Amino acid sequence: PAAPVRLRPARRIGTANPRLFGSFVEHLGRGVYGGLYAPGDPSATPEGFRGDVLELVRELGVTVVRYPGGNFVSGYDWRDGVGPRDARPRRLDLAWKTVEPNTFGTDEFVAWCRHAGVEPMLALNLGLGDARSALGLLEYANHPGGTTLSDARVANGSPEPHDVRLWCLGNEADGPWQLGHSSAAAYAERAAVTAAAMRRFDPALELVVVGSSHERMPTFGTWEREVLTRTIDLVDHLSCHIYFYDEGDRARFLRSSDMLDRFLDDVAATIAHVRAATRSERDVSISLDEWNVWNYTSYDEIEPRRVFEEAPRILEEQYTLADAVVVGTLLQSILRHADVVAIAAMAQLVNVIGPIRAEPGRPAWRQTTFHPFAAVARSAGHTVLDTAADATGGADATCVVTVSPGGDHALVHLANRSTTTAADIALDLRELAPRSVEHAELLWAPDPAATNTVDDPDAVVPRPLDTRLDDGTLALRLPPVSWATVRVR
């Protein structure tokens, strides 16, 4: 074994906003139909929501869910998804080349959120849609009653306003694949006009303006500067998206969180630059509202599609142990940016690149990536401490410590990103004066490519981890490609 990795909490970063543990549900493949909504499933609630999925969503610790897209929203007319089900139109969805039955829409989504105990975050169509349609949805959802649109909501079974606070001003408008893709200037104008009108309805809404779809976008940096220069005094958050996958170099893939660190630093710096240049006094934070491991080649399933089907099996990635370790380290990176990131949403939630899978008639199950997310989501509301490594000892260990609001316990989230070398960790927690280890778990399998399946959903699950706590120093061993969470009191 290599020399021990000496770590110590080095810097108080900020408080982990519970909204960092968000997720995302899009009308895409079997995300909604067969995922959230499956009337007739043995676990279905009277509303037709899959009950086992709801249970896993609660266990996962998700706090906020963005909906209904994604690329889908840029062609979506929200009016198609409300009112009596048998009168709702069937439409082509040109984003994912499917047929949209519209049997699940805004009212069902908000009702589902109440069941799941999560906050809804609604995305508006600023692709092929316009400000008038966006304002119509706002009035439908949030106005108490006495107008045609708000009374329609009441008649449709929701007497109380949905009171949605978080609104996304479109999706990935910088991407040529997006319906209604436009220049930064044209998008900024649409977003500004929409935001200004929305604020006349309710100045306290939280509005998210579209940033870059990826750090590799040719317009990354300039898009943010142009869009934010026009909108900074009208919005609260700047969106950014990023996905990672193994391009054939596992060691590099396992260091994906370095790239996310840099991406978030760059977006934060761009916000600071625009604030300085415009003399704005507004604090705009980052909404990382799509992030995950996603093998983009699954996009190739979409382009050749000529047959438009309902809820096809697309983007149903099977996640490995290595993917789960990357997801854990991406969450560490998000925590390390708790001072500049206010919202983060893992994309997506069920079936479609999600931590939860649901097959018809079978119990819903947890992918490998479910486990680090559930562990780190327990840090919601905690104070985040970054850690410094005195020596890496040939391993590649990363660690973030979070301390509960009353200081009665701390969570230590650790990863070993090395593909070859075990890490003997000595974590100096003396400043926190810990008395005992309450719980320690390790996510590991001999094969980094190991996955869970519907027939063997517990192949890769957290198992008890041996630790020692001597004079405030926590000692443990992490095998190559592993993830651990330790709770100390």
Residues that bind ligand AHR (CB under 6 A): 26, 69-71, 171-172, 213, 290, 347-348
Comparison of 70 and 462: residue with beta carbon closer to ligand AHR? 70
Cβ-closest residue to ligand AHR? 70
Q: How far is the CB of 386 from ligand AHR (least distance, A)?
A: 29
Comparison of 172 and 424: residue with beta carbon closer to ligand AHR? 172
Q: What is the C-alpha to C-alpha distance for residues 474 and 65, in angstroms, rounded to an integer?
A: 36
CA distances for 137 relative to 26, 69, 192, angstroms: 17, 15, 17
14 contacts 403 by C-beta, under 8 angstroms: no
Q: Which tokens sit at 244?
A: 């990672």
Which sign does the torsion angle of CA 321, 325, 328, 333 carry? negative
Q: Which tokens sit at 45?
A: 């609630």
CA distances for 346 relative to 51, 249, 289, 324, 449, angstroms: 21, 23, 7, 13, 21
Q: How far is the CB of 171 from ligand AHR (least distance, A)?
A: 5
Q: How far is the CB of 63 from ligand AHR (least distance, A)?
A: 19
The phi and psi torsions of 231 (rounded to 5 degrees) equal -115, 0
Comparison of 27 and 162: residue with beta carbon closer to ligand AHR? 27
Catalytic residues: 172, 290
The phi and psi torsions of 58 (rounded to 5 degrees) equal -65, -45
What is the SS3 assignment for 394?
Answer: coil
212 contacts 225 by C-beta, under 8 angstroms: no
Comparison of 86 and 303: residue with beta carbon closer to ligand AHR? 303
Comparison of 330 and 385: residue with beta carbon closer to ligand AHR? 330
Q: How far is the CB of 243 from ligand AHR (least distance, A)?
A: 7
Q: What is the C-alpha to C-alpha distance for residues 35 and 95, in angstroms, rounded to an integer?
A: 19
